[in-house]
Structure 1
Amino acid sequence: MKPDPERCADGVGRTVRAAASAVIGLWLAFLVVASVAAQQLPEDFLSSVQKMEESSHSEVWSEWDRQAEKAEAAIDSGEGAGPEFDAIRSDLEAQKTNGKAISEAAETAITRLTREQSALGPPPADGETESVDAAKLRGELAQRITGARALQVRAERAINRADELLARLTGVAQRHFLEQMTTLGPSPANPANWLAAFEAGRDALGRLAAEAARNFDDPTERGILRERAPIAIVAFLFAGAFGFGLRGLVMALMRRAAQSAGGRARRLLLGIGAALARFITLLLIAVTLLVGVVSLGLFDVVGEAILKGAMSGFAQFIAIFVMAAAFFSPESSAMRLAALDNRAAVAGYRAALLIGASLLLDAVFTGPRDVLNAPAGASAVASFTAIVIGAFGLWRLASVTGRPTASTDVEATSHYLAQALRRMIWGVALAAPVLALIGYEFAARFVFFPFVASLVLIGVGYLIFRVAGEAVDIRLESDEAVAPAAAEAGDESGDENVAPGQPLRLIPILVVLVLICVGTPILALIWGASTTDLMAVYRSVARGVVIGDFSISPGAFVAFALIVAIGYMLTRALQRILRYTILPKTGMSTGGAEALVSGLGYVGVMIAIVVAISAAGIDLSSLALVIGALGVGVGLGLQNIVSNFVSGIVLLIERPIKVGDWIEVAGVHGYVRKVNVRSTVIDTFDRSSYILPNSDLISGAVTNYTLSDKIGRVIVPVGVARGANTQQVERILLEVGRKHRMVMAYPAPVAYFIEFGESVLAFELRVMIRDINWILMVRSELNHQINARFREAGIEIAFPQRDLRIRDLGPLEAALATSLHGRAPEPSAGDRVDARPAGASQTDP
Structure 2
Amino acid sequence: MRLLLFVLLAALSAPAGLPVAPLAGAAMAQEAPAAPDYPQWEKDAALAEQVLEQDRASNQALEQLRQRIVDWRARFAAVQSANQQRIETLRSQIAALGAAPAEGQSEAPEIAARRSELNGQLAKLEAPGIAAVEAHSRAEGIIREIDTLIRDRQADALLKLSPSPVNPINWPAGAAVLTQGLKTLWSETVGAWNNPARRTELRNNLPVIILYIAIAGILVLRAPGFIGNMTARLQRSSSMRTRALAATILSLGQVVVPVLGVLLLVMATKATGMTGLRSGELIGALPEAAAAFFLARWLGASVFTGGTTAPIVVERPAEARFHASMLGVAAALEVMRVAFATDVRPPLSQAAQSVWAFPVAVLVAVFLFRLGHLIRRREGTLDTDERAFGARIQKLFGTALVAASVVSPLLGVVGYVAAANALIWPALGTLALVGLVIVLHRFLTDIYLVVSRSGEEGREALVPVLLGFVLALTALPALALIWGARTADLWEAWNRFRGGIVLGETRISPTSFLTLVAVFVMGYLATRLVQGALKYSVLPRTNLDKGVQNALAAGVGYVGIFLAALVSITAAGLDLSSLAIVAGALSVGIGFGLQNIVQNFVSGIILLIERPISEGDMIEVNGQFGIVKGISVRSTWIETFDRTDVIVPNGDLVAGVVTNLTRGNLTGRLILKAGVAYGSDTRRVEAILKEIANAQPLVLVDPAPAVIFTDLGADSLNFEVRAILSDVNFKNVVLSEMNHEIVRRFAEEGIEIPFVQRDIWIRNPEALRGEARAAAAPAPATPAEPAARRTPDPRLIHNDPSEDDPDR
TM-score normalised by L of structure 2: 0.70
1:223 is aligned, of 204, 221, 224, to 204
Cα displacement (A) at 1:65: 2.4
Secondary structure at 1:339 match in 2: coil
Aligned to 1:397: 371
SS of match in other structure, 1:617:
coil
Deviation at 1:312, TM superposition (A): 2.4
Correspondence 1:367 to 2:336: no
Q: Does the 8 Å contact 1:790/1:796 carry over to 2? A: yes
Q: 2:32 corresponds to which residue? A: 44
Instruction: Give the alignment partner of residue 384 of structure 1, picking from 352, 358, 361.
Output: 358
Q: Where in structure 2 are the equivalents of 1:817-828 lying within 5 Å? A: none
The answer to whether the 8 A contact 2:670-2:731 is kept is yes
- Match of 2:44? 66
- Residues 35 and 316 of structure 1, relative CA distance in 2, 3 Å threshold: closer
Tell me: CA distance 1:271–1:627, structure 2 relative to 1, closer, same or farther (3 Å).
closer
**Structure 2: distance between partners of 1:772 and 1:36:** 70
2:255 counterpart residue number? 282
Give the structure 2 partner of residue 98 of structure 1: 75
Matched, 1:199 2:179: yes
SS at match of 1:669: strand
Given candidates 390, 398, 402, the residue that maps to 1:422 is 398
Match of residue 87 from structure 1: 64
User: Could you tell me how far apart the structure 2 residues matched to 1:273 and 1:707 are?
Assistant: 66
Aligned to 1:675: 631
Question: Percent sequence identity over matched residues?
Answer: 25
Any idea what SS the aligned residue of 2:285 has?
A: helix
Deviations 1:545-585 (A, max 9, x none): 32332222232222212221222223223434444456556
In structure 2, give the amino acid aligned to 1:158: A
Deviation at 1:591, TM superposition (A): 4.1
Matches within 5 A, 1:243-642: 243-257=224-238, 274-294=247-267, 297-298=270-271, 299=275, 301-329=277-305, 333=307, 336-341=310-315, 344-373=316-345, 375-376=348-349, 377=351, 379-401=353-375, 402=377, 411-465=387-441, 478=454, 505-580=461-536, 590-619=546-575
Q: Find the aligned partners of 2:162 and 2:586 in 1 and give their Cα distance.
A: 70
SS of the residue corresponding to residue 371 of structure 1 reads coil
1:126-170 residue CA offsets vs partner (Å, 9 max, x unmatched): xxxx99xx99x9999969956963x55654453343233223322
Provide closer, same or farther for how the CA distance between residues 114 and 584 of structure 1 changes in structure 2, counting only shifts above 3 A. Answer: closer
Contact 1:665 1:701 in 2 (8 A): yes
Choose from 165, 186, 196 the match for 1:188.
165
Show structure 1 runs of 5+ residues with no match.
1-28, 53-57, 123-129, 482-500, 738-743, 810-827, 836-845
Distance in 2, Cα, partners of 1:768 & 1:242: 91
In the alignment, the residues of structure 2 paired with residue 419 and residue 219 of structure 1 have an alpha-carbon distance, to the nearest angstrom, of: 61
Contact 2:601 2:650 (C-alpha < 8 Å) held by counterparts: no
**Residue of structure 2 equivalent to 1:14:** none
| Partner residue, 1:647 | 606
CA distance in structure 1 between the aligned counterparts of 2:130 and 2:620, rounded to whole angstroms: 75
Q: Is the 8 A contact 1:355 1:391 kept in 2?
A: no
CA distance in 1 between counterparts of 2:382 and 2:450 reads 25
What do residues 49-91 of structure 1 show as CA deviations (whole Å, max 9, x unaligned)?
A: 4xx6xxxxx4x64156236525643663445633x43232232
Name the CA distance, whole Å, in 2 between partners of 1:582 and 1:672. 24
Q: Does 1:803 align with 2:775?
A: no
How far 1:682 sits from its partner (Å)? 3.2
Partner amino acid, structure 1, of 2:359: T
Superposed displacement of residue 758, structure 1:
2.1
Secondary structure of 1:370's counterpart equals coil
Deviation sequence 1:168-208 (CA, Å, 0-9, x none):
32232123112211223343323425523542553465367
Question: Structure 1 residues 81 and 694, CA, compared in 2 at 3 Å: closer, same or farther?
Answer: same
Give how far 1:658 is off.
1.8
The answer as to whether partners of 1:228 and 1:296 remain within 8 angstroms in 2 is yes
CA distance in 1, matches of 2:237, 2:575: 63
Determine the C-alpha separation between the residues in 1 that align with 2:630 and 2:713. Answer: 46
Aligned mates of 2:23, 2:334 — CA distance in 1: 50
Deviation at 1:286, TM superposition (A): 1.0
Say whether the 8 Å CA contact 1:560–1:612 is kept in structure 2: yes
| Contact 2:366–2:405 under 8 Å retained in 1 | yes
TM-score normalised according to structure 1 size: 0.67
Distance 2:613 2:210 in 1: 90
Query: 1:458 & 1:590 partners in 2: Cα distance?
Result: 57
Is 1:169 the equivalent of 2:142?
A: no
| Residue deviations 1:276-318 (CA, integer Å, cap 9, x gap) | 5322332122124314532553445434432443322333334
SS of aligned partner of 1:619: coil
Inter-CA distance 543–591: structure 2 relative to 1 (3 Å threshold): same
Confirm or deny: 8 A CA contact 1:79 1:172 kept in the other structure.
Answer: no
Matched, 1:664 2:620: yes
Maintained 8 Å contact 2:600/2:651: no
Ranges in structure 2 where 5+ consecutive residues have no aligned partner: 1-18, 101-108, 766-800
**CA distance 1:284–1:571, shift in 2 (3 Å):** farther
Structure 1: how far apart are the matches of 2:726 and 2:277? 95
Distance 1:705 1:455, change over 3 A: farther
Corresponding residue pairs, total: 717
Q: Confirm whether residue 696 of structure 1 aligns to residue 674 of structure 2.
A: no
Task: Determine helix, strand or coil for the equivalent of 1:44.
Answer: coil
- 8 Å CA contact 1:662, 1:705 repeated in 2: yes
Q: Name the counterpart of 1:758.
A: 714
Please say if residues 225 and 296 of structure 1, whose CA atoms lie closer than 8 Å, have aligned partners that are also in contact. Answer: no
User: Displacement of 1:420 after TM fit?
Assistant: 2.6
- TM-superposed deviation, 1:453: 1.5
| Counterparts of 1:728 and 1:390, CA distance in 2 | 107
> In 2, distance between residues paired with 1:532 and 1:589?
67
The amino acid of 2:647's aligned partner reads Y
Q: Could you tell me how far 1:614 is from its partner in structure 2?
A: 0.8
Letter in 2 for 1:649: L
Report if aligned partners of 1:715, 1:765 keep a CA contact under 8 Å in 2: yes
1:686-735 residue CA offsets vs partner (Å, 9 max, x unmatched) = 957432316835985433579989x99998878788799999999xx99x
User: Contact 1:681–1:690 (CA<8 Å) still a contact in 2?
Assistant: yes
Q: Is the 8 A contact 1:196 1:375 kept in 2?
A: no
